[in-house]
Amino acid sequence: MRLILILVLVIVVVGGALFGALNSASIPVDFYLMQVRMPVGIALLGSLLTGWLLGGLVAWLGHGRLRRTLRAMRRVHAQSQADAARRDDA
């Protein structure tokens, strides 16, 4: 499984490098406070990387809320199991 992941990562990196090299025309990118000229490939790959990182951050933050909910549900389940065991003993 690790070999497949490394292979896919290498293919993506090589594809990204080729994409950046083939799209070398310079364009202006406006960041509201400043304007920068950069190649089209770098601008597109940078926006892709930014979106990927922001999406991962949102997923990670949402995962924490789900983990807290799961922990609370496990406590309720353990309490109900303990109550059922006490009823069976009585």
Whether residue 89 is predicted with pLDDT greater than 80 in this model: the reply is no
Distance of CA 83 to the CA centre of its chain: 41
Q: pLDDT by residue (tens digit) across 50-61?
A: 999 999 999 888
| Count of domains for the chain | 1
CA distance 33 to 44: 20
Whether residue 42 is predicted with pLDDT greater than 80 in this model: the reply is yes
Mean pLDDT across the stretch 1-5? 90
Q: pLDDT by residue (tens digit) across 10-23?
A: 998 898 888 878 88
Whether residue 32 is predicted with pLDDT greater than 70 in this model: the reply is yes
pLDDT of residue 27: 92
Helix or strand run (H / E) with residue 73: helix 40-89
Domain extent, residue 31, equals: 2-89
